[in-house]
């Protein structure tokens, strides 16, 4: 499973990139607004930090302007993945950008049939939002299962399922069990994955026993 981090904070990305765990980055207009820096500068810096895809979202809603924005974003770096919304204009833009060999992430997916449309339009990634569905008392992980099942029936569809709006480690666990290829996590959730009280307790015990020996490795 590929791990993407969902942030526009360059410092956070730099810290996580050195672990070797990051396969890519996703951003959106809300995350860029939090960063408080020029959008294009942020995208360039992130692309220089990671080798994998960096999703940068268009802000237009009409097809012609989406396409122009997508081409401008793609020109920033070879690993830019243009992010478009799951609308008719977004799907048209996706199709054209893919014809130009530009990576495309179709975002704001909430139904399996939307995901099927994105795959037929040639999307590199589809981003179903599990947390937002959970917020309105729908089963976000059921959506992931349905999309994975549908895509598996049609090997010609090459779109990867990029699980988004992850709120906690259980979302990631369930997505991995369902066979989703990619998950994008907030830095705080990614850092939670390493933690377990028994790991902390065991390390404390080992260190206490080592201190009793009076030895030093260095």
At 90 the pLDDT is: 98
pLDDT tens track for 136-189: 999 999 999 999 999 999 999 999 999 999 999 999 999 999 999 999 999 999
Percentage of the chain lying above the pLDDT 70 cut: 100
Rounded Cα distance, 211 and 208, in Å? 5
Task: Match 């672990």 to its residue by tokens.
Answer: 19
pLDDT tens track for 171-184: 999 999 999 999 99
Q: What are the structural domains of the chain?
A: 2-213 (3.20.20.70)
* Residues with Cβ within 8 Å of residue 152, at least 6 apart in sequence: 179
The residues facing 104 across adjacent strands are 82
Question: Is 2 annotated in the active site?
Answer: no
**pTM of structure:** 0.94
Rounded Cα distance, 151 and 161, in Å? 9
Rounded Cα distance, 107 and 104, in Å? 9
- The active-site residue out of 72, 83, 92, 120 is 83
pLDDT tens track for 12-68: 999 999 999 999 999 999 999 988 899 999 999 999 999 999 999 999 999 999 999
| Mean pLDDT, the chain, whole residue set | 97
Q: Which two tokens stand for residue 193?
A: 């994955």
Q: Which two tokens stand for residue 204?
A: 């404390």
pLDDT at 190 over 90: yes
Name the packing angle between helices 88-99 and 112-120 (round to 10°).
30
| Residue 216 banded pLDDT, cuts 50, 70, 90 | very high
Q: How large is the C-alpha radius of gyration of the chain?
A: 20
């Amino acid at each position: 499973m590929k791990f993407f981090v969902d942030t526009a904070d360059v410092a956070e990305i730099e810290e996580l990139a050195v672990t070797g765990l990051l396969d890519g980055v996703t951003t959106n207009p809300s995350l860029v607004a939090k960063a408080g820096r020029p959008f294009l500068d942020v995208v360039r810096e992130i692309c220089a930090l990671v080798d994998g895809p960096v999703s940068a979202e268009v802000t237009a809603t009409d097809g012609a302007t989406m396409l122009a924005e997508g081409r401008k974003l793609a020109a920033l770096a070879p690993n830019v993945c243009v992010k478009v919304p799951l609308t008719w204009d977004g799907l048209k833009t996706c199709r054209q950008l893919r014809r130009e060999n530009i990576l495309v992430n179709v975002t704001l997916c909430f139904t399996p049939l939307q995901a099927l449309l994105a795959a037929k339009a040639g999307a590199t990634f589809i981003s179903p939002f599990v947390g937002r569905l959970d917020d309105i008392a729908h089963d976000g992980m059921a959506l992931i299962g349905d999309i994975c099942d549908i895509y598996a029936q049609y090997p010609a569809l090459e779109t990867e399922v990029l699980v988004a709006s992850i709120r906690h480690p259980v979302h990631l666990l369930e997505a991995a069990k369902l066979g989703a290829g990619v998950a994008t996590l907030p830095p705080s959730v990614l850092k939670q994955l390493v933690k377990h009280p028994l790991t902390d307790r065991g390390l404390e015990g080992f260190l206490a026993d080592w201190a009793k020996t009076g030895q030093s490795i260095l």
